[in-house]
Amino acid sequence: MGTLTGKTALVTGGSRGIGRAIAERLGRDGARVAVHYGTNEEAAGETVAAIESAGGSAFAIGVELGTPGDAERLWAEFDRQADGVDILVNNAGIAAAHPFEEIEEKEYDRLFAVNVKAPFFLTRLGADRLRDGGRVVNISSGLARAATMPHLLAYSMTKGALDVLTRDLSKLLGPRGITVNSVAPGIIDTDINASWLRANDEAWQGAAAISALGRVGTPADVADVVAFLASDDGRWVTGHWLDATGGSLT
């Protein structure tokens, strides 16, 4: 019996990177996991297969976020395969393609649509499906608290907004025993970061040096933190911004 046996989890952006690691960890802990993806159905299928091969249960949901009615469509797909949810992980997000000096209004709006509006309405519409004693975990960023990469200003702003959602929502859902927390990764070795992180040894070593622990983070490092908050061990932690940057902000 895993710590999450009998629970159902929804992980947005669960097909790759940090989201996949979270989905797989929650699956190992016994939860039935809804693996959401935007466009990469193949990657979502691989994640579901990995969870099932490890003895867990999972299913995929394909809905592109940042489009009108995205939250309604996602929950409609979810409802076809599950009855209620215990753990909602708002992980899906996009990064800024252009720095502050170059970003256009269209890209700015897209960032906020995916990174802020989507989790807001996913949580609002999901509140009635979320069982008492449930968990909401929002994946933030160390950039919400430190100007380590000021050229990514618009992206950092979205994560700051997500943290406000965490803070205030913890008060609204607290009477139902539902905890709401933010987990803030630092530099993580994912395919999204690979183009610059693995460009050369200097880039890798420079990223590792930012952490107090002297290494680049892995998706599993973040997933294990989320698993703690999703478990009964995290029952007394809510409204909290949890630094999962490996000491990059110290």
Active-site residue, from 37, 75, 78, 155: 155
Q: Compute the distance between CA of residue 48 and CA of residue 205 in angstroms, rounded to an integer.
A: 33
DSSP percent split of the chain into helix, strand, coil, nearest 5: 45, 20, 35
Cβ atoms of residues 178 and 135 within 8 Å: yes
Cβ atoms of residues 195 and 152 within 8 Å: no
Supply φ then ψ for residue 191, to 5 degrees. -65, -30
Cβ atoms of residues 38 and 118 within 8 Å: no
Structure-token match 């590792």, residue found? 208
Q: Compute the distance between CA of residue 242 and CA of residue 245 in angstroms, rounded to an integer.
A: 9
Nearest to 29 by CA among 12, 7, 14, 45: 7
Amino acid identity for residue 233 in this structure: D
108 classed as catalytic = no
Angle in degrees, CA 226, 169, 13, rounded to 5: 40
Burial 49-80 (b: 16+ CB within 10 A, else e): ebbeeeebebbbbbbebbeeebbebbbebbee
Cβ atoms of residues 139 and 89 within 8 Å: yes
- Provide the annotated active-site residues: 155
